[in-house]
Amino acid sequence: MNNKKIFWQIFPTALVIIIGSIVIASWYGTRTIQSFYYQEMQRGVQDRAILLRPHINQLLDTAPHQLQKFCRETGREASTRITVIDGTGTVLADSSEDPSHMDKHNNRPEIQEAAMGTTGTILRFSKTLGQNMLYVAIPLKVDTPQSGVLRLAVSGAALERVISSHRKKLFFGLLLIALLAAGLSYYQARRISTPLEEMRRGAERLAGGDTEHPISISDGNIPKELKELSKSLNNMAKQLNGRIKIISQQRNELEAVFSSMTDGVLAIGPDHTIIHINRAAADLFHINHQAVQGLVFENILRNKVLQEFINESLRSDVTIKQSLVLLESGQQLTLQAHAHPLNDGEQNRMGSLIVLHNQTRINQLETIRQEFVANVSHELKTPITAIRGYVETLLDGALENREDAAKFLTIIQRQSSRLDAIVDDLLTLARIEDTSKNDKMELRQEVLYPILETAIQSCSVAAEQKNICIVIECDPDITAPVNLPMLEQALINLLTNAVSYSPENTTVNLSVMQQQHPNYGEIICISLQDKGPGISSEHQKRIFERFYRCDKARSREDGGTGLGLAIVKHIADCHKGTVELVSQPGKGATFSLILPNV
């Protein structure tokens, strides 16, 4: 939209206001006169109808055959149309038309009002007479208004002639006043716009750096406000250069401080625009710190949590602190946010200052430490509990039975070895994480069936508590190059998960088959199938990550730590194999430990 000069803003506007006011006043006066004449005509016709009503009623009672003649003669003498209508709307007599050729009038508004006992009045066009007519209807009998109606109609041409005469007078008067108003408006607009134009040219010189030529107004009769404005502009020019230098110096110092800060800093205005953002904050959100200044922060920082914090800071008059967890470019950020009211030199609120301290790495390290301690404790506690249980069994009297004692001691020895293997496995996992390499592991050709039985025996107590039957499908002669403690640990972890997540009174199938694999050639596939709730597709991609749990609350309740399947995966890697998962929600899960048979 093009900005117009002040002359063309004042002159047409003043002219339109004046003419518009005259038009409105003229319209209101015309409407008032029209209403006055209309009411006078209505009152006059109503008086005529009241005078005629006794004669009409007398003729209806004594000589109804003379009613048409009376109406025609009376209407011609009074220049009034007279119509008599009975209670059904049938026209009994009319001064202008043959009643037998006229339609019923019970649907006319004025007739309906008269039939209700009031005077009906309306101004409308008559098709019969071809002109506007004023109709006034009154009941023939006051006590029984529904029995009949007397209607009188007069031409509205007189009213239209009066209004037309007033309109012509008003039009010429309006034209004359508009010409006078145009002249006065032009003079006044010129008187205001000329000195303003001179001040505009002087202000442009000031903006260009010319402070040596003050603004001067040639017209001495300018309004006082414009004269004071020119003096203010001249005073402003004297102070402009000094203040610009001070502001430039302060801005450079502030920019140096912001740029050197490692914490992110944002200054947000009350209109939600970014006043300033330092390099640290721009790098944090992957934006250009120079290009976004002056833009609305909701269009740049699209994180809802951060937007709510900034909005809250703009509403608050005190410092607020909050820990924010954001998802930025696919990565989770943990920020300690501080928001302070931002005031100008006169302590007027101009926005909020947001300081963001990135604690993501610190929190990640703390989480890893806590999860590592918790998971190590859990994994060490499992074999220790088994050893303690068998020792207590021996102390309770099982030592007397040499066969059982030997069996229990063998199990204790195996669990002790397993405990040692867990520690070694954790150390191996730590070394793998640090070096991204697998240590070489000694493999021996072992019969798999006894290993399966031992793993099932370790989980038998938990299975019996839920009445879960673990079925083995394995050829007793199948062998594979494995590390017995490691494989046993992997099977125990898989069985523990299967028993924990399977419903009571169900079956867990543990099968071993020799197959051909496209990547590993001849393999031994150890599959474990349960009837649990299954694992959704979004969790299957991360299920073998260390410490990852699909349902943290359920895992902690069942004693899980999220390390078991990670150990299984590393054990499979150490055997140069892999572990696969096939599952659907509600249909259980099948874990397959694939070991090369070479």
Both 323 and 290 in a single domain? yes
Both 411 and 278 in a single domain? no
Residue 238 to residue 232: CA distance in whole angstroms: 10
**Those residues with Cβ within 8 angstroms of residue 364's Cβ, 6 or more apart along the chain or in another chain:** none
Q: How far lies 41's CA from each of 26, 29, 112, 164, 584, in Å?
A: 22, 18, 21, 17, 91
Strand partners, 273: 296
Both 117 and 85 in a single domain? yes
Higher pLDDT, 363 or 526: 526
191-229 in b/e form (b: 16+ CB < 10 A) is: bbbbbbebbeebbeebeeeeeeebbebeeeebeeebeeb
Both 155 and 303 in a single domain? no
Strand partners, 337: 322, 356
Structural tokens at position 497: 């998960």
Compute the average pLDDT of residues 552-569.
59
In this structure, is residue 232 part of a structural domain?
Answer: no
Residue 449 to residue 452: CA distance in whole angstroms: 5
Both 316 and 408 in a single domain? no
Contact by Cβ (8 Å): 149, 115: yes
Compute the average pLDDT of residues 193-208.
70
In this structure, is residue 498 part of a structural domain?
Answer: yes
Answer with the one of 162, 184, 199 that is the final residue of a domain.
Answer: 162
Structural tokens at position 224: 């006082």
- pLDDT classification of 57: cutoffs 50, 70, 90: confident
Higher pLDDT, 373 or 84: 84
- pLDDT classification of 500: cutoffs 50, 70, 90: confident
Q: Which amino acid is at 103?
A: D
Answer with the one of 146, 162, 178 that is the final residue of a domain.
Answer: 162
Check pLDDT > 60 for residue 19: yes
* 217-226, 317-326, 387-396, 425-434: which is most confident: 317-326
- pLDDT classification of 416: cutoffs 50, 70, 90: confident
Residue 511 to residue 491: CA distance in whole angstroms: 11
Q: Which amino acid is at 598?
A: V
**Those residues with Cβ within 8 angstroms of residue 381's Cβ, 6 or more apart along the chain or in another chain:** none
- What percent helix, strand, coil does the chain show, rounded to 5? 55, 20, 25
In this structure, is residue 576 part of a structural domain?
Answer: yes
In this structure, is residue 256 part of a structural domain?
Answer: no
Both 501 and 381 in a single domain? yes
Can you give the pLDDT at residue 421? 59
Q: Write out the DSSP string of 393-407.
A: HHHTTGGGSHHHHHH
Both 268 and 391 in a single domain? no
Residue owning tokens 């079956």: 507
In this structure, is residue 591 part of a structural domain?
Answer: yes
Residue 451 to residue 446: CA distance in whole angstroms: 9
Structural tokens at position 545: 């990550």
Both 291 and 412 in a single domain? no
Number of H helices, E strands in the chain: 16, 17
Contact by Cβ (8 Å): 596, 575: yes
Can you give the pLDDT at residue 462? 85
- pLDDT classification of 270: cutoffs 50, 70, 90: confident
In this structure, is residue 13 part of a structural domain?
Answer: yes
Tally of residues, the chain: 598
Nearest to 326 by CA among 352, 370, 356: 356
Both 409 and 477 in a single domain? yes
Check pLDDT > 80 for residue 261: no
Contact by Cβ (8 Å): 446, 482: yes
18: domain CATH number is 3.30.450.20
Residue 301 to residue 292: CA distance in whole angstroms: 10
Strand partners, 538: none
Neighbouring CB atoms inside 10 A of 590's CB total: 16
Residue owning tokens 């937007």: 307
Both 393 and 464 in a single domain? yes
Pairing relationship of beta strands 469-473 and 507-517 according to DSSP bridges: parallel
Pairing relationship of beta strands 320-328 and 331-343 according to DSSP bridges: antiparallel
In this predicted model, what pLDDT tens digit does every residue of 425-462 receive, in sequence order?
Answer: 566 566 544 543 555 667 888 899 999 999 888 888 88
476: domain CATH number is 3.30.565.10
Q: Which amino acid is at 537?
A: S
Chain-centroid distance of CA 442 in Å reads: 60
Both 547 and 410 in a single domain? yes
Both 45 and 131 in a single domain? yes
How many domains does the structure of the chain reveal? Answer: 3
In this structure, is residue 215 part of a structural domain?
Answer: no
Find the domain containing 294 and state its range. 261-355
Answer with the one of 162, 193, 227 that is the final residue of a domain.
Answer: 162
Q: Which of 209-218, 321-330, 478-487 has the lowest mean pLDDT?
A: 209-218
In this structure, is residue 536 part of a structural domain?
Answer: yes
Q: Could you tell me the sign of the dihedral formed by the alpha carbons of 438, 444, 445, 451, in that order?
A: negative
Residue owning tokens 């020119």: 230
